[in-house]
Structure 1
Amino acid sequence: MSVSATHAAGPPAGGPPPSGRRNYARSYWLFAAPAAVVVAAVMVFPWLFTLYMSVHDWKVSGATPFVGLANYAKMLSDDRFLWAIIRTLIFTAGAVIAPVILGVWAAVTFAGNFLGRGIARTVFVLPMMATPVAISLVWTMMFHPQLGVLNYLLSLVGLPPFGWVYDTTTVIPTLVMVETWQWTPLVMLIVLGGIASLPQDPYEAAVLDGATPWQRFWHITLPLAWPFVVVAAAIRMIDALKTFDTIYVITLGGPGTASETLNILLYQTAFAYYDLGYGSAMVVVFFVIILVITLLMLGYRQKGIVT
């Protein structure tokens, strides 16, 4: 066998890779290193530093002694923290269920052909385009007990004024209404994309069998589009758990602490009371809650796809 043929055959099986291939592998690391450094600086380091602060009695000024798990143990006896978790879960449940139901209904509606569908769909998604702070300011003016347009409209039909965000019993449902108004279009777009990709054969067969529109929706559209509904619900749930700007701008957590969710409480603890150690512990616990709920949602979706 000639020398050229030997080189063409390459290294023996199980032997070391050619030196050129090793050089290429090193070059890959050179390209990935800047991105890895940025990720570590932007994401990894802040979380490690938050964990570090959570085990210290970290104040803005003075010493920061190590306290171990004392900040985490303090949460178990902190009624304000426990009630903040309950309010967060209630707010999240409402801010997920209502947009998902209305978003699925809107997606099914816009999936049909009717006059002016394009214009109606454009108008429907407009609330999602505005910033939450701007929307919150507009809704705050509308909720005003004396000058707000909502109570004025109620007076036109003979109804008494409503408490809206100024009543401890109605503030959470009112905030859920604002979230629903803004983020139902997002659910609609996700589910509408799923419905547009569904096969048409089952619908044609159902029409031939005399199925009603409700039967076609319940037995064909919803089961086939269910993975998209779960994805929309997961995205909405993560966003609702993290909601801060809408609640803070409209109510500041009030009246009293009636709308003080975990986001509002940890912000007040860290930046109003300057207890950064306890606030960091709240952040860690909140992150664990979000992670667990998200993994449960994604696991449920994956199980639904497999089955």
Structure 2
Amino acid sequence: MVFIALLIIFPIIWTLWLSLTDASGSVRAEASFIGIDNYVTVLTDTTRFWPAVGRTALFTGVVLFFEMIFGLGIALLLWRPFRGEKWVRVAILLPLVATPVAVGMMWRLIFDPTIGPVNKILGVVGIPPQPWLAGELTALPTTMFMDIWQWTPMVALIILAGLTSLSDEPFEAARVDGASAWQTFRYITLPMLSSTLIVALMLRGIDALKTFDILLAAKGKGGGSFNEVETLNLYGYGLSFDYNEYGLSSTVLILFFIIIVASIFLLTRKREEAAK
């Protein structure tokens, strides 16, 4: 536990120290202490930082909403035994087998405006070609779709585990009392499943906040020519590896770390309230 704690604490402290210096150019170059100047620079940056914050929040919120809805729906469909159940479960879990980078590259080819099959299929039904990842307004929704496609099965798996652990007695009582399927779902299934839903929301929410590889694979450095999918992770990465601004990059990462910790705290409180 001490070893793991050191692995976590040391990078945080080192990054915090770098955020208070003017480190740039080379990792071997001497850095001077400048206090909170980097924080002032970043927090007043309305060109890249705050738009990246907005995209991060929007991306996380949208993918979480659809992944929770679709994940719950899939879990409910798989809850009761049916013929071919094992094959359906394997098919649904297939997106989790691939790495996010492979998923990003695959969908990049599928959504290619010229050679991608999506526009060819749309052309058959009379819909004009769409830019998808190449468009300034369509790139972010397209990457959201890619994330939803890959990670909805994980949410479904967590919720399905929660469903299978529920007691049958309340459902039998509801059937005896003549409750409809919607009433059973609304007043029995959801309340009993609330703690599991919050766990799924917390695990996937933290992961969605940190989404990086699928965005980099799909759009490249900077999140595209117009930074259309640039989240805080991509922004911090670009400052470090494209511009060698280690002090500013560390500042962005510390602020991002604070956002993640605050999100974990809020979700944990929600989970505790649901468990009471």
| Counterpart Cα distance in 1 of 2:225 and 2:183 | 45
Give the number of equivalent residue pairs: 271
Does residue 207 (structure 1) correspond to residue 172 (structure 2)? The answer is: no
RMSD, matched Cα: 1.2
Give 1:214 deviation, angstroms: 2.2
Q: Which aligned pairs between 1:132-171 and structure 2 lie closer than 5 A? A: 132-171=100-139
Among 55, 74, 83, the residue aligned to 1:115: 83
Corresponding position of 1:36: 2
Give 1:37 deviation, angstroms: 4.1
Does residue 67 (structure 1) correspond to residue 25 (structure 2)? The answer is: no
| Counterpart Cα distance in 2 of 1:152 and 1:208 | 53
Q: Structure 1 230/37 Cα, relative in aligned 2: closer, same or farther at 3 Å?
A: closer
| Counterpart Cα distance in 2 of 1:71 and 1:245 | 26
Q: Once superposed, which parts of structure 1, at least 4 consecutive aligned residues long, lie more than 6 Å away?
A: none
Does residue 260 (structure 1) correspond to residue 234 (structure 2)? The answer is: no
AA of the residue aligned to 2:34 = V
Q: Structure 1 38/229 Cα, relative in aligned 2: closer, same or farther at 3 Å?
A: closer
Corresponding position of 1:282: 252
SS of the residue corresponding to residue 130 of structure 2 reads coil
Give 1:299 deviation, angstroms: 0.5
Q: Which aligned pairs between 1:49-88 and structure 2 lie closer than 5 A? A: 49-61=14-26, 62-79=29-46, 80-88=48-56
Give 1:38 deviation, angstroms: 5.6
Residue ranges of structure 1 left out of the alignment (5+ in a row): 1-34
| Counterpart Cα distance in 2 of 1:255 and 1:171 | 11
Whether the 8 Å CA contact 1:167–1:255 is kept in 2: the answer is: no
| Counterpart Cα distance in 2 of 1:52 and 1:300 | 33
| Counterpart Cα distance in 1 of 2:183 and 2:87 | 28
| Counterpart Cα distance in 2 of 1:144 and 1:128 | 23
SS of the residue corresponding to residue 97 of structure 1 reads helix
Which range moved further: 238-247 or 200-209?
200-209
Structure 1 or 2, whichever has the larger Rg, is 1
Query: TM-score normalised to the size of structure 1?
Result: 0.85
Percent identical pairs in the alignment equals 37
Among 180, 193, 208, the residue aligned to 1:225: 193
Corresponding position of 1:179: 147
| Counterpart Cα distance in 1 of 2:147 and 2:269 | 26
Does residue 93 (structure 1) correspond to residue 58 (structure 2)? The answer is: no
Give 1:223 deviation, angstroms: 1.2
| Counterpart Cα distance in 2 of 1:46 and 1:290 | 16
Whether the 8 Å CA contact 1:57–1:65 is kept in 2: the answer is: yes
AA of the residue aligned to 1:72 = Y
